Structure formats: structure tokens, C-alpha cells
Amino acid sequence: MKNFTHSLLDRDNLNLVLDNLKLGVIAHTPQRIITVFNKEAERITGYSKEEVIGQDCHIVFQTPFCGPKCSFCEKTPNFTSETKQYPVTTITKTGETLHLDMTVSAIIDNAGVFKGVIASFKDLTDSINLSLRVENLTNFAGIIGKDKSMQDIFRQIQDVALYNYPVHVSGDTGTGKERVAYAIHDISAYGTGAFVPVNCGAIPEGIVESELFGHVKGAFSGAVKERKGRFELAHKGTLFLDEVAELPLKTQVKLLRFLQEGSFEKVGGEKKVSVDVRIISATNKNLKEEMGQDRFREDLYYRLNVIPIHLPPLRKRQSDIPLLAAHFLAEAEQESGKKVPELAPETLNSLMDYEWPGNVRELKNAIQFSVVRSRGDKIL
């Protein structure tokens, strides 16, 4: 056994062992001079052993190979005997980005003298990219869908987020219009600001203008102090006007003026207030029909509908129903902290056959109701 150990520690045999590992291995001295570089390290990085052995680690890789946590950036290592494990992103010889799982340990001799560092690393790039591709296929900013129509929506969201043009989201009740609006906000330049949703149909007509644009002190009975409206609260962020078709015509005029000028006057005020907001509107009504009935201004329609996004009803994307059901079951399990029952195959078939007039919201409610009322490990 002793002879075998000595043979194993022979330089050539040690290299043979290292070259048979499925992990990349690199070692260097306290002066960052590379002494070990195995075959898997060559494969992952694109550098040959001849190119790196005897070279300064930082110079040959043009960056700290072990990432920003490297203890040798100043050639005066501040290293402990503790093994470190962390993810790191680095660049190959050909300029490709790599995502590595890095494990770094100090090399300390029997006398306690620090002799250098050995690091092993595994290439996670392919698995991470695959995970991201799968995730993007089914879940984009919390919106679930693999149907082609939803994939088109995901691409539209990414495209429109780059520009501060008004977006109008249409679709039946429960299709997820606010989720789409928030997704646009979240990945846009306004994502660091507030997302301010307003249900225009839920505000009494007499106060809707004050709610949106604010008022000055004494503007009306009860206005004992100046108040900011939703536009000011959304400054440097996004204002989401849900059920925009319910706005009174008088308020539509003021909204149109803001879209034209970028400023407004508070109720009872004369001073112009300028804000920088992104406007996203939504409705489940046909705005062209509303225009034909003189309930919605044509000029406002064209100002709001610069970029239209239409969400399909759930009955038009039935292939997403199993995915959505599984998502809502997982949510219920996470919220309750206990295992929830699964859908029986016949139950899933029934879900697929139903028309879902309330769309995704109705499906979510049905799943939640079934979880609460079910007995056993299956939802029948």
C-alpha cells in the first residue's frame, strides 16, 4: 500500500490521475505561477497545458480566473485553510462566456507553510442555458404559457420594453393584462421606478380626475391639503390604466393633453406639473366599438394604442391548461407549507374540455377551491 501511494504521487502518475478526472483542475504557487492544468481544464477553457504551465495565472487568462473572490489580485494572498466554493463567470480563449462551479483550497505543507492554491471547476454553462431556455419557454416574468400565441406575447414584451411608447393591452377578463403590463415595466428602463396600477372603472366619476392628477388645497369641499395623484406617484415609473374604457370623456380629454404635452394641471390648480412616466393601458372592451358609440375618443385611442398587445382567451390555448394547473398547485403547496393533492387524469381532461369564460383567473380559483375541498391525494 505504501509503495502504491508513493507511485501514485509520482509526477507522471499524478498527472494521469488528474487527466482522468471529469473536473477541471488548476494549481498555482503563491506567486500565481501555474503548476497544474489537467485535460478537462484544457477542454473547458480552450487553453493548452503548454500555454499556461509556468505562466502567471492572471496574465495568461487576462483576468482573475477564479473570479472576483480571488485572493491573489495583488500578489499578496490573504488566504485561509478554508475551502471556498462559489459560482464564477469567466471567458474562454475564443471569447465565449463560461459559467463555472469553482472549489478552491489552500496547499499547506506539513510544516504549516502556505505553498499555493489548487482549484477544481465544473462547466455549468450548458445546463444553465438549457434551464434558462426551458424557463423562458414556459414562464416569462410570472406569465405562464408554452402555446405559440404566448411565445409571441413574450417576444412582444421584450421588444416593447426597449421603447417608451404607450402600450395598450387588450383581452378578455382574467387573461392576465396586468401581469403583462408589469412584465413590460419590470424589464424596461422604468423598472426601478414604481408600478402604479389604477382600475379606472372602480373610481367614482366625481373624483377620478383628482385620483389621477391630484388636487390643490381648497380645490373642492374636503380638499384640506394638496394631494398627489397617480401620475405624480408614478414619476420615473409606469402608470397602468386598467379598464381605461371606463374613463369619463372629460378625463379622457385631460389624459390626451398629458400624452401630447407631458404635463398636466392638478384639480383646482393653474401650475403645470411635468412627470416622466410610461403609460400602459388595458381593457376587455372593444375600443373601436366604444368609439362608434361616442364613449371613447378616437384621438385618445390612437395615442394609447401605439403598440397593441392582444391576449388570447384560455380556450384558444388549451395546451397551457396542464402547465397552469401545475403552477397553481405548486403555489398552493408553497403557501400552505404542506403537500397538496394531485390532479387525477380524468379531472385534467375535464379542465381541458371546459371553455373557461373567466380565463386564467377562473382556472386559478377552481384549482384553489379543489385543493381546499379535496380529500385524499387526488383531485377528482
> Is residue 98 scored above 80 in pLDDT?
no
Query: Across residues 297-314, what is the average pLDDT?
Result: 96
Question: What is the reported pLDDT for 223?
Answer: 79
Query: Across residues 356-365, what is the average pLDDT?
Result: 95
CATH class in words for 2-123: alpha beta
Question: What is the reported pLDDT for 209?
Answer: 93
pLDDT tens figures, 213-254: 998 888 787 877 888 999 999 999 999 999 999 999 999 999
Quick one: pLDDT band at residue 1, thresholds 50, 70, 90?
Answer: very low
Instruction: Enter the DSSP assignment of 313.
Output: P
Percent of the chain scoring above 90 in pLDDT: 46
Sign of the CA dihedral 302, 303, 306, 311? negative
Q: Which CATH architecture has domain 130-312?
A: 3-Layer(aba) Sandwich (3.40)
Quick one: pLDDT band at residue 7, thresholds 50, 70, 90?
Answer: very low
CA atoms within 13 A on the CB side of 368: 10
How distant, in Å, are the alpha carbons of 262, 277, 278 from that of 188? 19, 12, 10
Q: Say what angle helices 359-373 and 321-336 make with each other, to 10 degrees.
A: 50
Helix (H) / strand (E) element for 292: namely helix 287-292
Quick one: pLDDT band at residue 72, thresholds 50, 70, 90?
Answer: low
pLDDT tens figures, 118-153: 888 888 766 545 444 444 556 777 788 889 999 999
Question: What is the reported pLDDT for 105?
Answer: 85
Sign of the CA dihedral 254, 260, 262, 263? negative
How distant, in Å, are the alpha carbons of 24, 123, 197, 328 from that of 90? 14, 10, 41, 38
CATH ID of 315-379, from 3.40.50.620, 1.10.150.120, 1.10.8.60, 3.10.450.50: 1.10.8.60
Q: Where are the domains of the chain?
A: 2-123, 130-312, 315-379
> Is residue 176 scored above 50 in pLDDT?
yes
More confident residue, 273 or 112: 273
